[in-house]
Each structure stands twice: as C-alpha cells, then as structure tokens.
Amino acid sequence: MKSGVMKMKKANFVDHETIKTMNIGIEEIALDKDACEAAAEEISGGNLIEGMSEKAMAKEIYAHIFIHDVIESLPSFVQDNKFVHKIYNSTVNGIDLEDFGDTYVRQFMYDVIWLLG
C-alpha cells in the first residue's frame, strides 16, 4: 500500500487504493435526460468510472446541469447569496464523477431532481 492519505468515502464503504475520477465540462451536455443517458452510456462503455449504474451517472450529470442552469436564471441578488454562490461555484467547474458514486444523501437529491426535471 502506498503511503500518504487515502481517499475514503463515508457513504459507500469501498476499500480501494485508488478511486478514479473524471470531470465533464458543464457546457458539454445539454439539460436533456436522453443526452445525459447517452453520456453515461459512453462513460460506462469506456470503463472510465466503475461501481455506478448508467442511470445513476445520468442522474448525477443531469442534476448538476439542472442546478447550474437554475442558479444562472436567478436574479443577481439571489446569486450573490453566499450559500447559492457556493453551490454555483461547485457546478461551474464541471461535473465530477468518481468510482462508486457520490454520498447517499447526494444520490437521493439527484433522484429527486431527475424526477422533477
């Protein structure tokens, strides 16, 4: 085992030495469920991310794009709120996917956004 800090995920209890991650530009995929599913299929087919279903990937991609677009449509005084600004900054840098998915709480939120979208 390599020395140093190992990345641990509270929610998924995965004991792997390395967890692969990837970043998708927020403007690369349209806010469209079919486009998100196609992107997830491509990611899954290339084994770029493991331990997530294609549907889970599509939901995470869709949720990030949805949140980004909603915040951009809000009035500037709302966008300037520290909490809203923090969320926006986390989406503007792209969609970060990693092996075995996000925390269970975030996965639940992705499911809710998918259903509402």
Query: Which pLDDT score, from 0 to 100, does residue 108 have?
Result: 95
Q: Which range has the top average pLDDT, 2-6, 11-15, 57-61?
A: 57-61
Single-letter amino acid, residue 78: V
Separation of alpha carbons 62 and 30, rounded Å: 9
For the stretch 17-76, pLDDT in tens is 678 889 999 888 999 999 999 999 999 988 889 899 999 999 999 999 999 999 999 999
Residue 9 has pLDDT above 50, yes or no: no
CB 110 within 8 A of CB 60: yes
Single-letter amino acid, residue 112: V
| Domain boundaries, given as residue ranges, for the chain | 31-116
